[in-house]
Structure 1
Amino acid sequence: MDTIISGDTTKTSFYAAIAPIILSVFAIYLTIGITLGILPGYIQNSLEFGSVTVGIVIGLQALATLLTRAYAGKTTDTKGAKVSTRLGTILTTTTGILYVASTFFMSNVSLALGIILVARMIHGIAESLFLTGALTWGIGLVGAQKSGRVMTWNGIAMYAGIAIGAPLGIGMTKIFGIESAFATLVLLSIISWLIIKKLPTLSVDLSHVRTPFYKVIGSIAGQGLALAFSSIGFACISSFIALFFVQKQWGDPSLAFVCFGVSYVLVRVFFSSFPDKYGGLRVTLFSLLIEILGQLLIGFSTSKVMAIAGCSLTGAGFSLIFPSLGVLAIKKVNPQMRGTALGAYAAFFDLSLGIAAPIAGFVASWFDYQSVYIFGGVSALLAIVVLLLGKNKA
């Protein structure tokens, strides 16, 4: 039988408590990284669709995540973080099966694309349920006063998974074939659930009067909009850096993904205390300036080295934005609404990815892939404007 504890009362040490959750998050985000690494080439080269279709396929997962954030938050708050997380792993397993199935219909490209679109939607729902549950579970185990650290380490696991997953997927496709790369998603989903299966279950307060989701969104809108604009640079890299390298004939883009991820993780590891020490607003503004520099470096790059350096700076700049603004966001709601607040806050990130990838696809088709990163830099600048205009509310 599961152990049930009340949130914020556990005496367990921080790292011992959240290590299984962090490893589980890492496994799930490896599945996301693998698909980001291989889907653009699969769609454009094997199925022979254009860059706009690539953008739509990549963005569809984020859109599905966005549209189910309210459901994920309600499920987490009313049925428990463990239930939400378990549903997420089951759905991720399903996506792996669907991705594999699409490869058996490559002679019928429309059918194969349709299966991929369904898989992307389910993958997005899975991410919504899993991450909302994992974040709420982690904060409940170690206490709300450590919520920033929980978000920081979850972010490390997320982007490390994406950074490692993308080149892993590319490598597996080259060596074993794309079917094997897609099948790995099923294995990783099962491993993810087994890691956290025996963690204690948090108690659920069903007597609390729930605040409507739209009101929660309104209360954290300032932080959410800034997060949305700042996330576009990440969307541009994840969706189009591989195709940009192909266009420039710069070879394997794996190092670009790796450098983004390594920079992101190193900043979080060594500077995770900065939001608490210097303030979320100040850290976010400085981070955005670094991100803008990184995006412009890619946008005006004349060599592979410049582009990779731009990816590194973008990762470093983007690293502390989510926890810096996230801590401010969850302070605006009661503990019983924490899952909903996290869902609402993360919804802005999903909205960004869902819209950014298709728009970037149109920018690439009208101009070129370098223009995509000028778009990313301008978006980060808009995040600064939003924060400065709403400074008194941050």
Structure 2
Amino acid sequence: MATASTDMAPASGREATRRLLPFTVLVALGYLTVGLPLAVVPIYVHSTLGFGPVAVGWVIAMQSIGTLLTRHFAGVVSDTRGSKLAVISGAATCSFAAVLYSLSTPSLFGRTGGLGILLLARLILGLGESLLITGALAWCIGAVGSRYTGRAMVWVGIAMFGSIGAGAPAGVGLLRAGGFTFLALVAALLPILACLIAARKPGIPPHHGRRMGFLKVVGLIWPFGVSLALSTFGFGTLFAFLGLYYASHNWSGASWALSGFGLAYTVTRLIFGGLPDQMGGIRVASVTIPLQALGLIILAAAPVAEVALIGAAILGGGYSLTFPALGVEAVKHVPPQSRGAAMGAYVAFVDIGLGLTGPISGAIVSHAGYPAVFVAGALASGGAFVAMMLTSNLFVRPTVD
């Protein structure tokens, strides 16, 4: 029988952080399957497979569609079978998706076949990410207690975006060293290491008690999710089209701009990660969401690559705390036995934001060019701010456990 990874709640924030660090490592290894190909896939679809920005948008969106369709499933697995099983299953699925990446080369199945395999791989990666992140969030919160919900989200996010920040230039280096297939196989190996780490950690037994239906959970947290989805739209435009935006200006260093985003994201969480728990999520998000919009406007107006990098970094710093800030508020509304479902539902709004980003931003680029898509992202962040302020004034109060 699984045993809890803790016998009591941590006595301090430092102890909570110590307990969270092993989870950060295993999530980072699993999420490198997302991070390593991230700067490469848009260029690969455009240059190697020979498809335009609309196809690029759909390839990027397919992962989010996969996660959106499976968040409920991931929450049920985490709540009923244990978050440890969800994490291990998710990491293994991510590895399988990366193996499929390696089969998408046009020399094997042609351009159209390669695109189809890549779309399938991205869909399966969405399932893997859904299980990995939903399970990890529930496992982390169970390990440190609801008092440190924001801190748990902060450290899972550090692992995710640290993998993106480090993975983007590393993926470009792997591509140059051995080609896309080599990159895909390296990305397939790392989640297996995550499985090995997770297997050695004691799990958190599922909570007893009546669990809420998934739709009821969604009904309780959706006001915070809407703001999160709108915030995510701008973040999604960066990862979908930054590489092509740089190429359109004959700039080099798009992967380093992604690293600038990831570095700012990580440093902000390390320094200010305790603020959502201490000050409340709404107060923190009222600062971070406008920062996102500022970064996107700088990106759209950038005259040189260095200014675009600054815009990406500001966006990263702003987006960094938006997710845990709104998440702290959302988790207050559900009991512990439905925490996995709540995490699945909440993170699903990231999937909605990213899923809409691909096709919508692809259409914007096709008709108005690359700067316009970052302006659209800034407008979406403005909508997120309005939605967040309405949420703080109008919607339901937290459920008392």
TM-score normalized by the length of structure 2:
0.94
Report the CA distance between 1:6 and its aligned residue.
Answer: 7.7
- In 2, the alpha carbon distance for the partners of 1:269 and 1:20 equals 16
Structure 1 counterpart of 2:60, from 39, 58, 61: 58
CA contact (8 A) 1:30 1:162 kept: yes
Structure-1 separation of matches of 2:287 and 2:356: 25
What's 2:399 paired with?
Answer: none
Confirm or deny: 8 A CA contact 1:8 1:142 kept in the other structure.
no
CA displacement 1:47-85 (0-9 Å, x = unmatched): 100000000000110111011111100110000001111
Give me the identity figure in percent. 37
Q: In structure 2, what is the equivalent of residue 339 of structure 1?
A: 340
Q: Does 1:82 align with 2:57?
A: no
Structure 1 gaps, min length 5: none
Mapped contact 1:10–1:142 kept (Cα < 8 A): yes
Superposition TM-score, scaled by structure 1 size: 0.96
Q: Which residue of 1 aligns with 2:309?
A: 308
With 24-33 and 6-15 compared, the bigger mean Cα shift is at: 6-15
Q: Distance in 1 between matches of 2:78 and 2:342?
A: 11
Aligned-partner SS, 2:40: helix
- Corresponding position of 2:375: 374
What secondary structure is seen at the aligned counterpart in 2 of 1:200?
coil
On the 8 A contact 1:7/1:143 being kept in 2, the answer is no
Partner of 1:5: 4
AA in 2 matched with 1:5: A
- Matched residue count: 392
Q: Which residue of 2 aligns with 1:262?
A: 263
Q: Distance in 2 between matches of 1:383 and 1:99?
A: 34
List per-residue Cα deviations over 1:100-132 (Å, max 9, x = no partner): 111264561111111111100100000000111
Shift, 1:391, TM fit:
2.1
Judge conservation of contact 2:148–2:277 (CA < 8 Å) in 1: no
Greater shift in the superposed pair: 100-109 or 64-73 = 100-109
- 2:240 paired residue number: 239
CA distance in 2, matches of 1:317, 1:340: 27
Matches within 5 A, 1:1-394: 4-5=3-4, 9=8, 13-103=15-105, 105=107, 108-205=110-207, 207-392=208-393, 393=395
Displaced runs of 4 or more, over 6 A: none
Q: 1:232 to 1:278 in 2, by over 3 A?
A: same
Q: Which amino acid aligns with 1:366?
A: H
In the alignment, is the contact (CA less than 8 A) between 2:64 and 2:351 conserved in 1?
A: yes
Equivalent AA in structure 2 for residue 93 of structure 1 = S
CA distance in structure 2 between the aligned counterparts of 1:328 and 1:348, rounded to whole angstroms: 14
Q: 1:6 touches 1:203 (CA, 8 Å); kept in 2?
A: no
2:149–2:277 Cα contact (<8 Å) kept: no
Q: State the secondary structure of the residue aligned to 2:360.
A: helix
1:391 & 1:17 partners in 2: Cα distance?
A: 32
Unaligned runs of 5+ in 2: 397-401
C-alpha displacement of 1:208: 2.2
For residues 42 and 191 of structure 1, the distance between their equivalents in structure 2, rounded to whole angstroms, comes to 27
* 2: CA distance, partners of 1:306 / 1:41: 22
Paired letter, 2:79: D
Contact between 2:59 and 2:119, CA under 8 Å: does it hold in 1? yes
> Post-superposition shift, 1:10?
5.5
Letter in 1 for 2:335: N
Contact map agreement 1:29 1:165 (CA 8 A) in 2: no
- CA gap of 1:243–1:262, structure 2 versus 1, over 3 A, is same
Letter in 2 for 1:157: A
Q: Tell me the distance in 2 between the aligned counterparts of 1:165 and 1:91.
A: 19
Letter in 2 for 1:252: G
Distance (Å, rounded) in 2 between the aligned partners of 1:35 and 1:110? 20
Q: Measure the CA separation in 2 of the matches of 1:154 and 1:238.
A: 19
Query: Which 10-residue stretch deviates more, 7-16 or 256-265?
Result: 7-16
Give 3-state SS (helix, strand or coil) of 1:177's partner.
helix
| Distance in 2 separating the partners of 1:140 and 1:131 | 14
